[in-house]
Structure 1
Amino acid sequence: MPHESDPEPEVNISGGEAGGGAPATFDPATADTRAERIVDRLGARYWQKTYGGQDAFTCLVRTILSQNTSDVASQPAHDALLERYDGPDIDLAAALAAAERSTLAETISAAGLYNQKSGVIVDAAEWVLERWGSAAGFDAFVREGDPHEVRATLLEVSGVGPKTADCVLLFAGGRDGVFPVDTHVHRIYRRLGIAPPDADHEAVREVLERDVPAEKCGFGHTATIQFGRDFCTARRPACLEDPNACPMADICDQVGVYPETGEVVDPADAPEAAGD
């Protein structure tokens, strides 16, 4: 059941410490696209924030840990990693580059796929040291470098995909116009009819970054995730129980959702998409 009063979790990849962003106010009356109206409505329900300021390498590690798992599972792994390898006057990149992989894997086991993720983290730490000499040098690159160059550079790292790169740009770099696409965002904006039913993650990102103003993309990402958890779940979206239960009911195309039969399919598999 949706919990409309639930706050953003105090510590998660969608926000970081104390929500990870500064409260901001935007005027929804100026929305020019349907995507922007949806983001405005989500922001009014959950939160409107600007993001940035997280340490870039810590954010990279945190996002790697979150891949293919939930914050509930990955947060303890992140906490355990920092407890073992981080501290005052310690360069986290140097500490992880020198980490014994089996020990690191055991440390982050709560996150799942821990053998794979430990390898990605050590490789990323070695890459940071080779390119920038320290986590601080990497942080400066993420904050001050050309965002397209930063994104392309991050995508060179094995195990770092578009969503991970975009989260680093958003939560560490504080870059406007970045709308990371995770499984919630990918599902929801195709289901709503904002992106084509067969759009991949990158195609959905391109639509959102085109149709949502740059300053709204950050909270659009985090609020959409919460909306996906509360209402627009993968298997039992709220509209199956009650057509009026979802706050987006009047603006959603329900692609792949059939309340009359209770069937839910991926938007790409919806019969309506067959002739597109």
Structure 2
Amino acid sequence: MSDDPEPTRNISGGSEGGGAIVDVEPGVADTRAEAVVDRLGERYWQKSYGGQHAFVSLVRTILSQNTSDAASQPAHDRLMDRFDGDDGDLATALASAATDDLVDAIRSAGLYNQKAAVIQRVASHVLSEYGSADTFDRYVREEDAHEVRDTLLRLKGVGPKTADCVLLFAGGRGGVFPVDTHVHRIYRRLGIAPPDGDHEAVRAVLEADVPPEKCGFGHTASIQFGREYCTARTPACLDGPDACPVSELCDRVGVDTQTGTVIDPAETIGDE
């Protein structure tokens, strides 16, 4: 069903994807966003996240920028095999690595020259500001989440989604709902976020309308839903309302089920 060139399984989902399965008490959702997250959590997984090493999570998320898990995960695995040895700190190894060696390790992730430069710049910053990757990890876990986010966003090459993924998967922070391309598309199409909202506007709506303990699996389960059902070009609703598990919660902004036309929700503004 999916037209997204990614693995069928979100790497953060299921029992093998990190985090811990949690029981969420059933109840009446206070917002439509919460109702969607509840539905997707029941369909896929309800998990809490945290526990990844912050610097490793940061590097992993940088590699995932503008590419799929199928491309970025092998690059991450090769990078870790080559540079994360037993004889030192990963940040030290990456900051001092020959650029050609780093590029060779992450080539499958795409934009490898750009990503290698970002990784080495971030590694050097971590060493100069915190002394080691482990100290940086403690900073991410223990300091105020807003301060940590602002610190990460000041790093050239680190955007909001990358910063939020580090806060979620490493810091285990509640109330953090990273917005990737799937989340951005889905919640504007649902009519929950403004049709012309950028990633930060969508994040603001979701973090306001979804309880903090549900934001983490709201993010990862939404990605799975975006791969299986609410794809960019051929969403399941084109096959009829019964084809989508959240059909009655969706405004289908930008989707004309009669003609089969699918456009970006922002393009619907002013059409009335």
TM-score (norm 1): 0.94
- Asked whether the equivalents of residues 14 and 45 of structure 2 are also in contact (C-alpha less than 8 Å), the reply is no
Runs of 4+ off more than 3 Å: 6-9, 14-17
Alignment partner, residue 16 of structure 2: 18
Whether 1:52 aligns to 2:41 is: no
Q: Deviation of residue 102 (structure 1)?
A: 1.9
Q: Does the CA-based 8 Å contact 2:51-2:172 persist in structure 1?
A: yes
User: How many angstroms apart in 2 are the aligned matches of 1:190 and 1:91?
Assistant: 42
Give, in angstroms, the shift of residue 274 of structure 1. 1.4
In structure 1, the partner of 2:94 is 96
Q: Which of the residues 187, 190, 193 maps onto 2:188?
A: 190
What is aligned with 2:204?
206
On the 8 A contact 2:167/2:173 being kept in 1, the answer is: yes
- For residue 174 of structure 1, what is the aligned residue in structure 2? 172
Greater alpha carbon shift after TM alignment, 208-217 vs 88-97: 88-97
1:163 paired residue number? 161
Q: Is the 8 A contact 1:179 1:209 kept in 2?
A: yes
Aligned counterparts of 2:270 and 2:90: Cα–Cα separation in 1 = 49
Whether the aligned pair in 1 keeps the contact of 2:49 and 2:169 (CA below 8 Å) is yes
Checking the alignment, whether the CA contact within 8 Å between 1:36 and 1:212 is kept in structure 2 is yes
- The equivalences for 1:12-161 within 5 A come to 12=11, 14=12, 18-161=16-159
Q: Over aligned residues, Cα RMSD in angstroms?
A: 1.7
User: How far is 1:88 from its partner?
Assistant: 2.2
**Equivalent residues, number:** 268
Among 248, 258, 266, which residue is 1:250 paired with? 248
Q: CA deviation at 1:275?
A: 6.3
1:238 deviates by: 0.6
CA distance in 2, matches of 1:112, 1:258: 34
C-alpha distance in structure 1 between counterparts of 2:15 and 2:38, whole Å: 24
The 10-residue stretch of structure 1 (256-265 or 19-28) with the greater mean CA deviation from structure 2: 19-28
Matched-pair contact (CA < 8 Å) for 1:154–1:160: yes
Residue 16 to residue 150, structure 1, CA distance change in 2 (3 Å): farther
> CA 1:16 to 1:260, structure 2 compared with 1: closer, same or farther past 3 Å?
closer
Contact 1:179 1:221 in 2 (8 A): yes
Aligned to 1:267: 265
SS state at 2:48 partner: strand
Amino acid aligned to 1:201: H
TM-score of the aligned structures, taking structure 2 as reference length: 0.95
Check whether the contact 1:238–1:245 (CA below 8 A) recurs between aligned residues: yes
| TM-aligned CA deviation for residue 18 of structure 1 | 2.2
Letter aligned with residue 133 of structure 1? G
Q: Distance in 1 between matches of 2:241 and 2:271?
A: 26
| Residues 73-132 of structure 1: per-residue CA shift (max 9 Å, x gap) | 100000000011002242100000001112211110000000000000000000000110
Bigger Cα displacement from structure 2, 150-159 vs 95-104: 95-104
Rounded to whole Å, the distance in 2 between the matches of 1:165 and 1:110 is: 23
Find the residue that maps to 1:19 and give its secondary structure: coil
Taking a change above 3 Å as real, the CA distance of residues 25 and 17 of structure 1, as seen in their structure-2 partners, is closer
